Amino acid sequence: MRDGPRVEIHYCTGCNWLLRAGWMAQELLQTFGADLAEVALVSGHGGIYRIAVDGQVIWDRKADGGFPGAAEIKQRLRDVIAPGRDLGHVDR
């Protein structure tokens, strides 16, 4: 197992949000792959769509109002794991 943070993407199976969760996982791995220990898809129910880094929630559909774009999640993840990192076009 690699060192680094663990990202969990909790998604609702009843709402069919697996593809959305899988796409977000792919986006995060594309940008942060070498810096992450793991990106886990965690099935759930009740309309859940929540993204957490080492237990710290960085997005919750119910609290934040809907679904995030990839750029917003990448910025929030960066702010937790590597605050000084430049994300290139995502930051512009």
| Tens digit of each residue's pLDDT (9 = 90 or more) over 25-82 | 999 999 998 899 999 999 999 999 999 999 999 999 999 999 999 999 999 999 999 8
**Backbone φ and ψ of 55, nearest 5°:** 90, -10
> Which of the two residues, 79 and 90, has the higher pLDDT score?
79
To the nearest 10°, report the CA torsion of 27, 31, 49, 84.
Answer: -160
- Alpha-carbon distances, residue 17 vs 5, 58, 81, 89 (angstroms): 23, 18, 26, 27
- What is the pLDDT confidence band of residue 16, given thresholds at 50, 70 and 90? very high
pLDDT of amino acid 1: 56
Does the pTM surpass 0.95? The reply is: no
